[in-house]
């Protein structure tokens, strides 16, 4: 029997359908789906089979010194015992095993984990590897026909990261949590990747907080000509209003006899975008409303269903093996894309754009088949076609990928840029216009459309009238907060994390209550943590450290360093960090306690004006209580589930109180009619006192006991 092992059940089902021509039969093995045909069986895992952990004796945080974790021997713990048993059962009758997990570090490690179980039962089994970038009939059949060897170095690099992240994360998290006396669900998470990421955001928040705005003044004018109106500005930004007023007076004195001093027109060509790598995809998905994590989750689903190529890639150059013309022709089946695809097909030669990054593992993200959806003509079917219809969100992401692909094969957009200079009273006004002459790639890549600013036809020496001219007061603005998508790009530039993990790191920072909103704003707890790390363990906050470790893991992939050498070196680095922190445990704990209290503050007590603080009982109930309890007994109830987020918005009725949001409060009641929110991830809870009074009024109307 030939056993083929994939990473997930969706991939197993599609690969089995492709290789069997649609004849594979579903069979349960210990509760796990397998697909059998022609003495072959395909099984889909559920991600990692094992995870590293500390032995049981290290589990009690209060009794174990975090330092002991650095050199503790780790154990591999099965995550899904049913998957292990199913693999063992299949291994007993297997003559050959083919690993068909995703071809990247994590996928290779998952495959090696599965292989370790198979080899334990059947040491003599033959082993090989399928490598593919898309789950289509062509890709899968070619990959199966040209199987290769497993890359154990690639798997070792992923295993090294898992071990290093566990040791660093557990040691530092326990140290800071114990110092601040925040255990259980309120623990303080610290890690070698998330901490330098958080430091970027804290630095930006400090820049915003310390920014001092400077006033300046501009002169804006409305110009009237025979051909129409347009706007112009004085080229200077005046630091003194008096200087702006003098210039304004001179312009007004010649308002009816201003002269066109210069008209300069120039053609400008805007190049199409480069092919999608993971970071560019995340940035573009953010512009149409998707968070990095949501975009990647949807992209993974589209990949597993055989609609787009592998979504974790650093490549921005299409390999020569891609049938570009065939892909474009395929997209003519989608009505909205048909005219754009047909225009590209009329070209004698397709020459795509290229980015600076070229890798050999996976191509840039691109469509590989057409979905069965209301937007596509005809129905998909057969062993090699994508399954089922797309949801609205899935279609939007698929369409983004498809339009980007077509854009990379389209012509430049051509603009006419115009600069007009108007002389009035010895002062110069400047107007800038831009007019789209040939849409080129902008016709299909509609997300990148630019607004036109047209200027009527003008001649040098022509007299025009200044209809209105005024001084506009402005202020310099602080730097903007960083959005989640822009943070992914910044992490890539600094070498923090990988294409597969960056969006997950950002999600964890939100889960740990270090960030709120998008663009991301660090909480007081996060700011205090980074300040303490910078003071007592600065290496943890610097990208240099995590980038160096990433480079070491790359050497493991290349076979020039061993997993054991890199893990050992990271442990030694952690020892030096820990010793410095240990000498300042008391100061660190006090600072973190104070920061934690700041994030739990929801306003002033209506009865005594002291601070209202979020608290939890031993039984897990949550409530708001006056800081002077028991002297002041004022309190308000809070929902039992969901992460509580204190906003910066004050209640209109009770100005001393801040409004709340409840994140991931599935099944909680909300709204005036008490309807259940099915999948809404954020509940605008509002003012806790208003919410309580509404509930109290409703209980009274229903005859409930108050």
Q: Please report how many Cα atoms fall inside a 13 Å half-sphere around the Cα of residue 685, on the Cβ side.
A: 27
pLDDT of residue 702: 60
Q: How many CB atoms lie within 10 A of CB 300?
A: 17
Specify burial of residue 530 (Cβ count, 10 A radius: 0-12, 13-18, 19+): buried
Tokens of 175: 């140290």
- Tally of residues, the chain: 706
- Kindly state the DSSP code that residue 74 receives in the 8-state scheme: P
Q: How many CB atoms lie within 10 A of CB 14?
A: 26
Mean of the per-residue pLDDT values for the chain? 89
Report which of residues 435 and 648 the model is more confident about: 435
Helix (H, G, I), strand (E, B) or coil at 51: strand
Can you tell me the distance from the alpha carbon of 443 to that of 411, in angstroms, rounded to the nearest whole number? Answer: 10
Residue 102 in contact with residue 81, Cβ under 8 Å?
no
Q: What is the pLDDT of residues 34-85, one digit of tens each?
A: 999 999 999 999 889 999 999 999 988 888 999 999 999 999 999 989 999 9
Whether domain 2-150 has CATH 3.40.50.140: the reply is yes
- Report the top-level CATH class of 278-407: mainly alpha
Q: What is the pLDDT of residues 522-532, one digit of tens each?
A: 988 889 889 88
Q: Please, where in the chain does CATH 1.10.460.10 lie?
A: 159-209+480-593
Residue 615 in contact with residue 623, Cβ under 8 Å?
yes
Can you tell me the distance from the alpha carbon of 703 to that of 559, in angstroms, rounded to the nearest whole number? Answer: 74
Residue 375 in contact with residue 399, Cβ under 8 Å?
yes
Residue 402's pLDDT band (boundaries 50, 70, 90)?
Answer: very high
- Give the pLDDT mean for 545-565: 91
pLDDT of residue 500: 85
Query: DSSP of 620-665, one letter per residue?
Result: S-EEEEETTTTTS--EEE--SSSEEEEEEEEPSSSTTBEEEEEES-
- Give the pLDDT mean for 653-660: 90
pLDDT at residue 562 tops 90: yes
Can you tell me the distance from the alpha carbon of 496 to that of 542, in angstroms, rounded to the nearest whole number? Answer: 10
Can you tell me the distance from the alpha carbon of 119 to that of 114, in angstroms, rounded to the nearest whole number? Answer: 9
| Cα–Cα distance list, 179 to 4, 66, 189, 585, 589 (Å) | 49, 11, 12, 6, 4
pLDDT of residue 381: 39
**H-assigned helices in 254-352:** 278-287, 292-304, 324-330, 338-345
Q: Please, where in the chain does CATH 1.10.290.10 lie?
A: 278-407
pLDDT of residue 670: 41
3-state SS of 430-493 is EEEEEEEEECHHHHCCHHHCCCCECCCCCCCCCEEEEEEEEEEEEECCCCCCCCHHHHHHHHHH
Closest to 415 (Cα-Cα) out of 284, 267, 296:
267
Residue 140's pLDDT band (boundaries 50, 70, 90)?
Answer: very high
Where does 215-269+415-475 sit in CATH, by number? 2.70.20.10
Q: Please, where in the chain does CATH 3.40.50.140 lie?
A: 2-150
| Cα–Cα distance list, 34 to 50, 175, 254, 396, 569 (Å) | 20, 45, 85, 32, 42
Residue 116 in contact with residue 88, Cβ under 8 Å?
no
Q: What is the pLDDT of residues 304-324, one digit of tens each?
A: 999 999 999 999 999 998 999
Residues designated as active site: 310
Give the percent of the chain with pLDDT over 70. 93
Q: What is the pLDDT of residues 609-646, one digit of tens each?
A: 888 988 877 677 889 999 888 899 999 998 888 878 78
Can you tell me the distance from the alpha carbon of 155 to that of 108, in angstroms, rounded to the nearest whole number? Answer: 5
Can you tell me the distance from the alpha carbon of 5 to that of 49, in angstroms, rounded to the nearest whole number? Answer: 12
Segment among 178-192, 434-448, 534-548, 631-645 with least mean pLDDT: 178-192
- Give the pLDDT mean for 655-683: 60
Segment among 88-102, 180-194, 244-258, 661-675 with least mean pLDDT: 661-675
- Kindly state the DSSP code that residue 391 receives in the 8-state scheme: P
pTM, entire model: 0.82
| Cα–Cα distance list, 296 to 393, 397, 561 (Å) | 12, 10, 31
Can you tell me the distance from the alpha carbon of 473 to that of 174, in angstroms, rounded to the nearest whole number? Answer: 52
CATH code matching the domain that covers 159-209+480-593, chosen among 1.10.275.10, 3.40.50.300, 3.40.50.11900, 1.10.460.10:
1.10.460.10
pLDDT of residue 377: 45
Can you tell me the distance from the alpha carbon of 531 to that of 573, in angstroms, rounded to the nearest whole number? Answer: 20
- Give the pLDDT mean for 343-360: 91
């Amino acid at each position: 029997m030939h056993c083929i092992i994939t990473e997930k059940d969706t991939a197993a089902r599609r690969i089995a359908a492709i290789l069997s021509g649609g004849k594979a039969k579903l069979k349960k093995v210990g509760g796990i789906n397998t697909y059998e045909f022609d003495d072959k069986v395909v099984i889909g895992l559920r991600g990692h089979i094992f995870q590293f952990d500390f032995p049981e004796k290290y589990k009690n945080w209060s009794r174990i010194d975090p330092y002991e974790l650095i050199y503790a021997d780790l154990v591999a713990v099965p995550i899904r015992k049913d998957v292990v048993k199913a693999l063992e059962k299949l291994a007993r009758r297997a003559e050959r095993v083919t690993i068909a997990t995703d071809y990247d570090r994590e996928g290779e490690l998952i495959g090696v984990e599965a292989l370790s179980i198979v080899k334990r039962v059947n040491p003599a089994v033959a082993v090989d590897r399928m490598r593919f970038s898309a789950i289509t009939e062509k890709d899968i059949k070619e990959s199966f026909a040209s199987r290769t060897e497993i890359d154990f170095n690639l798997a070792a690099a992923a295993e090294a990261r898992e071990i290093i992240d566990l040791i660093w994360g557990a040691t530092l998290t326990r140290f800071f949590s114990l110092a601040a006396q925040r255990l259980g669900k309120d623990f303080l998470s610290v890690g070698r990747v998330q901490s330098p990421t958080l430091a970027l955001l804290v630095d930006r928040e400090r820049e915003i907080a310390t920014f001092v705005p400077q006033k300046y003044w501009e002169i804006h004018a409305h110009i009237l000509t025979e051909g129409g109106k347009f706007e112009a500005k004085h080229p200077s930004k005046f630091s003194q209003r008096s200087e702006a007023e003098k210039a304004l007076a001179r312009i007004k004195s010649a308002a009816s006899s201003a002269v066109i001093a210069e008209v300069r027109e120039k053609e400008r060509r805007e190049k199409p975008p480069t092919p999608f790598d993971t970071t560019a995809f995340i940035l573009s998905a953010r512009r149409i409303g998707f968070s990095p994590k949501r975009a990647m989750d949807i992209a993974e689903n589209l990949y597993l269903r055989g609609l787009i190529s592998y979504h974790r890639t650093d490549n921005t150059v299409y390999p020569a093996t891609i049938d570009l013309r065939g892909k474009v022709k395929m997209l003519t089946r989608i009505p909205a894309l048909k005219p754009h695809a047909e225009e590209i097909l009329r070209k004698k030669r397709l020459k795509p754009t290229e980015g600076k990054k070229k890798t050999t593992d996976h191509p840039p993200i691109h469509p590989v088949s057409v979905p069965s959806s209301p937007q596509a003509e005809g129905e998909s079917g057969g062993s090699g076609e994508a399954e089922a219809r797309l949801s609205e969100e899935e279609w939007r992401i698929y369409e983004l990928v498809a339009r980007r692909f077509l854009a990379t094969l389209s012509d430049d957009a051509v603009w006419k840029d115009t600069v007009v200079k108007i002389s009035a009273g010895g002062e110069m006004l400047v107007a800038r216009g831009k007019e789209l002459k040939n849409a080129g790639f902008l016709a299909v890549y509609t997300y990148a459309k630019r607004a036109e600013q047209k200027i009527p036809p003008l001649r040098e020496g022509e007299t025009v009238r200044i209809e209105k001219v005024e001084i506009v007061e402005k202020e310099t603005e602080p730097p903007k907060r960083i959005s989640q998508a822009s943070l992914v790009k910044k992490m890539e530039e600094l070498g923090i994390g990988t294409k597969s993990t960056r969006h997950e790191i950002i999600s964890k920072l939100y889960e740990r209550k270090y960030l709120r909103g998008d663009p991301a704003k660090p909480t007081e707890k996060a700011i205090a943590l980074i300040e303490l790390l910078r003071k007592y363990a600065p290496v943890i906050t610097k990208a240099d450290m995590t980038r160096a470790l990433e480079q070491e893991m790359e050497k493991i992939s290349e076979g020039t360093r061993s997993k054991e050498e890199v893990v050992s070196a990271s442990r030694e680095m952690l020892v030096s960090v820990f010793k410095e922190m240990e000498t300042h445990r008391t100061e660190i704990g006090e600072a973190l306690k104070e920061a934690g209290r700041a994030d739990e503050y929801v306003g002033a007590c209506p009865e005594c004006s002291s601070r209202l603080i979020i608290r939890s009982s031993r039984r897990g109930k949550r409530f708001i209580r006056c800081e002077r309890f028991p002297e002041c007994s004022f309190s308000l109830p809070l929902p039992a589930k969901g992460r509580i987020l204190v906003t910066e918005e004050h209640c209109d009725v009770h100005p001393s109180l801040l409004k709340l949001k409840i994140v991931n409060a599935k099944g909680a009641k909300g709204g005036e009619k008490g309807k259940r929110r099915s999948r809404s991830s954020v509940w605008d809870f509002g003012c806790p006192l208003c919410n309580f009074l509404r509930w109290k009024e409703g209980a009274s109307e229903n005859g409930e006991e108050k």
